[in-house]
Structure formats: structure tokens, C-alpha cells
Amino acid sequence: MTRTTIVIGDDHPLVQAALRDALGKAMPEVAVVECLDLDSVMAAVAERPDDVDLVLLDLNMPGTNGFAGLFLMLAHHPTVPVAILSALQDSDTIRRALAYGASGYIPKSLSMAAMADAIRAILGGAVWAPPLGGLGSPEADEAEAARRFASLSPQQLRILTMIVDGKLNKQIAGELNVSEQTVKVHVSSILRKLNVVSRTQAAVVAGKLAVEGDILR
């Protein structure tokens, strides 16, 4: 029997346990890898990139910084499907997630059986989202923002989140263990790709990655 590997990124142990049990009953062949933060998710996928069939990512899990975690996952592992698992279920957040490249959006309010059905649909190649009225299509500026964020490399995305946190180039260099000159080169590239002229403007644009109005942090 072919194993299906699903990485679940969620910092709530009860959600992890409930979803693991539901998937075990609905899909006996499933192997679940449980992670409590984005770094753990990234490491788990990096260990077995050819074996992971799906990543479920909580928008508010430590390290995800709103939609930045989704972009980082897609930048590092563009062939691995990523679906959002979230307590948020407003149409704007769902529409943005799909516009930004998510393979599906699964609200935590669904029953465990419904979640398992949604995951099966995504594994089958469908883009699954709850049937919310007026979901609509992404607006032009939102689609353009998605294109610009997607053009950033994984390292540039990490540096962008640090810029939003107000960190200086020297601090960023120390945390990433690179030279300050390397950071300056990345910052220049970030400004160019986002079509802005200052770090402050970059931070404002990066606010589009936030959910529920929260700036990246």
C-alpha cells in the first residue's frame, strides 16, 4: 500500500491529535508528521521533499507571520501542495490564500470528517475551499502583490519579515549569519521587486501578507 505523507503545522496539540485521529480513520495509509512552528514544518519537508504529499499550515502558528509562511513554503518547495488550516473563515482571507498559491483552505470549524474529505479532495488534485457566497476572484492589485511576493527568494522573504520587525541590516546579518553587505544586496533587490524606494515602504507593502489586519511580526 502506498503511504500518503501529510505534514501538519499547528501549535495546538489538541488540533493535531484530533486531525491525526480523523485522518487515521479516514485514510489508513496516511503518515502524519506533526509540527508546532514554521521552522519545524520547513525542516520536516526538507528531510523528505519527494515523499510529502501535502502540508497543512496554520496562518497564526509561530513563525508563519500571516501569509509569509505560505510564501516561504512555496518558495522552498514549489512542488509540494500547501493548504491553509485556520480558525479564520472570512471570504477575504480565503480569497487571498488561494490567490497567493494555497492548494486549499480548511476552516477549523469543520467537523473532523469534513476536514478529512477536504484533504482527500486536495490530495486528488482539487483546490478546496468552503462554499462561501461572494468569494469572487482576486482583484488586480492583490494579484499583482501576489506576483511580487512570489518573485522574492526564500532568503529575501525572511529578510523582509525582519525589516517589518524594525531590525537593522547589522542585526539581520547577525541572525542570518551572513555579511552586512550581503544583506544590503538583498534589501536592494527586495525594494526593486516590490517596486518601492525605502524600507518603510517595503514594510507597508508587506502588510498585505498579514491576516486580520496584523502586520507581520
Write the pLDDT tens digit of every residue in 45-60.
999 888 999 999 998 8
Integer-rounded Cα Rg, in Å, for the chain is 18
Indicate the pTM of the whole model: 0.73
Q: Across residues 188-211, what is the average pLDDT?
A: 82
Amino acid at 60: N
Cβ contact 100:146 at 8 Å: yes
CATH number of 4-123: 3.40.50.2300
Contact by Cβ (8 Å): 8, 34: yes
pLDDT-derived band at 137, boundaries 50, 70, 90: low
| Other Cβ atoms within 10 Å of 26 Cβ, number | 15
Question: For residue 149, what are the CA distances in angstroms to 18, 132, 154, 199, 208?
Answer: 33, 26, 10, 15, 10
**pLDDT tens digits, 115-128:** 889 999 999 999 99
Domain 4-123 and domain 151-209 have a common topology: no
Whether 113 contacts 26, CB under 8 Å: yes
Number of neighbours of residue 122 by Cβ within 10 angstroms: 24
pLDDT above 90 for 105: yes
For residue 158, the model assigns a pLDDT of 85
61 confidence band (pLDDT: 50, 70, 90)? confident
Smallest CA-to-CA distance from 23 within 14, 32, 34, 33 is with 32
Place of cell 479564520: 88
Tell me what pLDDT residue 142 has.
64
Alpha helix segments (H runs only) across the chain: 13-26, 38-47, 68-76, 91-99, 112-123, 140-150, 154-164, 169-176, 180-194, 199-206
Predicted local distance difference test score (pLDDT) of residue 200:
83
Whole-number Å distance between alpha carbons of 4 and 41: 16
At 88 the pLDDT is 86
**Chain mean pLDDT for the chain:** 84
Task: Give 151-209's CATH code, choosing from 1.10.10.10, 1.25.40.10, 1.20.970.10, 3.90.228.20.
Answer: 1.10.10.10
Give me the pLDDT at residue 78, please: 86
The values of phi and psi at residue 9, to 5°, are -105, 105
